[in-house]
A = this chain, B = another copy of it.
Amino acid sequence: MAQATGPSRSQPATLSDVARLAGVSIATASKALNGRSQVRAETRQRVIEAAERLSFRPNQVARGLLAGRTGTVGLLTSDLEGRFSIPILMGAEDAFGAGEVAVFLCDARGDAIREQHHVRALLGRRVDGLIVVGSRTDPRPSLGRELPVPVVYAYAPSEDPADLSIVPDSVGAGRIAVEHLLACGRTRIAHITGDPGYLASQERSEGALAALADAGLALVGEPRFGVWSEGWGRAATAMLLDQHPDVDAVLCGSDQIARGVMDVLRERGHRVPEEVAVMGFDNWQVLTSASRPPLTSVDMNLEQVGRAAAHALFTAIAGAQRSGVETLPCRVVIRGSTAPLS
């Protein structure tokens, strides 16, 4: 199984190899390949063919050293495991990939020491900028103002207003969720949500209550905070039905909670969506599409957040640094668990 001899691993061709083969100087070869104008068409052709023959790829390391910009950025996540980082990361990778920028991935695993270590390593590699991705929307400590490269915070905003942060609009998310339920003709809406220590749950509730107030309505009972789990969804629903059997919609703080809610509703014989509409947050595919019926949910557009952060970093690298917290809208994805009251 183990064999000592790998493939030949010949060194990649360099520009001077190309120049030698084409019979020109290094300078001319460079100009020919980069489309600079001071090269005769016929010479350029010869160089291009030589480069082709040697399958020459310019050494980006040397180029970076010379230019002072490496065309790389650091993506610093605090928690890869959590499912929120991934779409953001995908969006950022997508936005950069198109622009010929390469992304260093670092996972600090929620540890400030490790984060600091990664920042130093990335700066040593002369990244052109950093994106810091948090695992929740609560503000987090800034990396500091003295960094030699621009930084954009995504999902978790920086505590320092001088930094630029891109976050989903959690208040707006709560608002559009309720507006959708109202549009379905629901008026007796309950709210079961997660850990009150999360800013996300607070803001979503706030938006939901505001939208209800705008419509001259109030929640059925108080918002029920708990934990982000199906178990809590089940327990809270049992209590809710005991106290308010006439509820016609439940707005849940997450898709997990919503699944628990729907399970208990079904077990107790309440039909969804005919009698009770159910909505979740996060639009987590594996949960929304597997539930019965499929779950209407609010999508935070996290890929969009990632793309926007990448774009903002791009312009910051170009010199136009913004600051403050910028929010991006969320969207309702309608599935079978909500429908107009017939």
Contact = CB atoms under 8 A, between A and B. Distances in A.
Interface in A1-22: 1-7, 9-12
Contact of A107 (B68, B90, B100, B321): B90
A89 interface: yes
A97 B287 CA distance: 33
A86 B81 contact: yes
A184 interface: no
A41 interface: no
Given A230-B290, A290-B230, A321 B5 contact: yes
Contacts of A322: 1-3
**This chain's copy number in the assembly:** 2
Given A9-B148, A58-B124, A124-B60, A106 B93 contact: yes
A241 B287 CA distance: 25
A61 B71 CA distance: 12
A135 interface: no
Nearest to A255: B286
From A11, A60, A150, residue with most partner B Cβ within 10 Å: A60
**Interface residue range, chain A:** 35 or more
Interface in A98-127: 100, 102-107, 118, 120-126
Contacts of A145: 7
Contacts of A7: 145-147, 321
Contacts of A68: 11
A132 interface: no
A146 B8 CA distance: 8
A319 interface: yes
Contacts of A250: none
Interface in A117-174: 118, 120-126, 145-150
A122 B229 CA distance: 41
Interface of A: 1-7, 9-12, 57-62, 64-65, 68, 70, 72, 75, 80-81, 86, 89-90, 93-94, 97, 100, 102-107, 118, 120-126, 145-150, 229-231, 256, 259-260, 286-287, 290, 316, 319-324, 326
